[in-house]
A and B are shown apart, each in its own frame.
Chain A
């Protein structure tokens, strides 16, 4: 039931782009993306809901393919501050339930 994230880790140079994928075997109502830096709490980035609504930071973009039960997070022109572990959390209810199942995370390192 846990969503699968890929890749597990990625190293970028500043200014490069990256895509992080999240795939579920169960039907999704919503996908939530978070970034967590070492020793800190996860920070909300974006939520994508069934039906196409999405909310999040202006500089972050993502997609949600309801049919394939997949979501992708697009990080463009990466900055050093983008480094951290990215998690997708999935809600499998008929509407949002407050119960998120998280993937194992993707570690992103941005180098100067």
Chain B
């Protein structure tokens, strides 16, 4: 069974730009959660989607948004990028909900 896939794997943007990251969950998994990982703040929950609906949201500004499609694939968008948005963005899928399986992440660098 294929694992969680995320695209792109690496991304370099400049301040003020916007970015869209994609996550394809494990086949049959309908919940997708997004996390931001930085050396200073660790792993922080962004939001979670199930059946195309955002069920939970973390404490991030409105510049961070997401959506989920009918095939359970999910995207997250960050608008007006700031230097502090540089991070590894991870998505995790679950059936739901029990164990979550993480994708390889997208490494975003904001210059």
Q: A64 CA to B43 CA in the complex, in Å?
A: 22
Cross-chain contact B50 with A55 (CB below 8 angstroms)? no
Cross-chain contact B33 with A47 (CB below 8 angstroms)? no
- Shortest C-beta distance, A62 to chain B (Å), equals 13
Say which one of A14-22, A65-73, A75-83, A98-106 lies at the interface with B: A98-106
Q: A5 CA to B100 CA in the complex, in Å?
A: 20
Chain B contacts for A32, CB-based, 8 A: 99-100
Q: A100 CA to B46 CA in the complex, in Å?
A: 10
Residue positions of B touching A, CB distance < 8 A: 31, 33, 35, 42-45, 48, 50, 55-56, 58, 90, 94, 96-105
Cross-chain contact B99 with A44 (CB below 8 angstroms)? yes
Residue positions of A touching B, CB distance < 8 A: 2, 30, 32, 34, 40-44, 47, 49, 55-56, 87, 89, 91, 95-105
Cross-chain contact B44 with A102 (CB below 8 angstroms)? yes
Q: A49 CA to B98 CA in the complex, in Å?
A: 9
Cross-chain contact A98 with B33 (CB below 8 angstroms)? yes
Where chain B touches its partner, the secondary structure class is: strand
Cross-chain contact B55 with A97 (CB below 8 angstroms)? yes
Q: Which listed residue, B43, B50, B56, B97, touches A102 by the CB 8 Å rule?
A: B43
Decide yes or no: A99 and B101 within 8 Å by CB, A87-B43, A105-B42 being known contacts: no
Cross-chain contact B43 with A41 (CB below 8 angstroms)? no
Q: A55 CA to B100 CA in the complex, in Å?
A: 12
Chain B contacts for A34, CB-based, 8 A: 102
Q: A108 CA to B98 CA in the complex, in Å?
A: 25
Q: Other than A91-B97, A101-B45, give 17 A-B pairs with Cβ distance below 8 A.
A: A2-B42, A30-B98, A34-B102, A41-B103, A42-B90, A44-B102, A55-B98, A55-B99, A87-B43, A96-B98, A98-B48, A98-B94, A98-B96, A99-B45, A100-B33, A100-B35, A103-B42
Chain B contacts for A41, CB-based, 8 A: 90, 102-105
